Amino acid sequence: MTMETRCAALSDALDRLTAIDPAIARAIAEVGAPEPRVLEPGFAALLRIIVGQQVSTASAEAIRTRLWDAGADDPERYLVLDDAALGAIGLSRAKIRYGRALAEAVVSGCLDPRALSRLSGAEADAALTALPGIGRWTSDIYRMFALGDMDVFPSGDLALREGVRLLDDAIDRPSPSDTDARALDWRPHRSAAALLLWRLYRVRRGVAVLGADTGS
């Protein structure tokens, strides 16, 4: 899916969401429409998302830059680097292990991250979450950013849940299950809703988050 196609799909989805949810319309009026977030499908995209698990956006980007400088965006090169080298780059022991499992799966042909676009969302989830260190959040982000799936909602993401709270002017941040329930009305355009909520959070809080563009 080209960037032009993604932009058109996102614009159409936001129009449809605006028509069915006044809160979405108000958020777009306040912060503007989000931009698509696009990653090239493959090992590097998945490794990048794993690196971003449970760390700040700035920390994740710093580690990613060092990994790429070391050539570790290539699975074979990643496997050549020892634990000491990867640890010096900034990866935790757990993420070193997750990266190795992913690299081995890709190199052996057990997983073709690019081919997942030919599967259903449930099938792609099953293939990804079979690997250590890849849970729903990582799978959701990969499906949304790399595969262009338009109906993904990573309700385990704290910034996204806070975005829902801001959208609804609620006192308490919703739980993941409550967030999933809130997003049911946005099907099959939940990815567009997620991008908007990340943008709402970034604009209101002034904090960079994974799914928000850098515009004001």
pTM flag (> 0.85): yes
CATH code for 3-37+152-205? 1.10.1670.40
- For residue 209, what are its two tokens? 């988050």
Each residue's pLDDT tens digit, 35-84: 999 999 999 999 999 999 988 888 999 999 999 999 999 999 999 999 99
Nearest by Cα to 91 from 66, 108, 113, 114: 66
Position 214 pLDDT exceeds 60? no
Residue 33 DSSP class:
P
Q: What is the mean pLDDT of the chain?
A: 94
Each residue's pLDDT tens digit, 101-148: 999 999 999 999 999 999 999 999 999 999 999 999 999 999 999 999
Separation of alpha carbons 42 and 46, rounded Å = 7
Ranges of each domain in the chain: 3-37+152-205, 43-145
Q: Which CATH architecture has domain 43-145?
A: Orthogonal Bundle (1.10)
Separation of alpha carbons 184 and 3, rounded Å = 27
Taking the CA atoms of residue 192, residue 146, residue 122 and residue 127 in that order, the dihedral angle to the nearest 10 degrees is: -160
**What's the confidence (pLDDT) of residue 169?**
96
Position 210 pLDDT exceeds 80? no
- For residue 102, what are its two tokens? 């992913």
> How many CA atoms does the CB half-sphere of 193 hold within 13 Å?
28
Residue that has been written with the tokens 């129009």 in this structure: 15
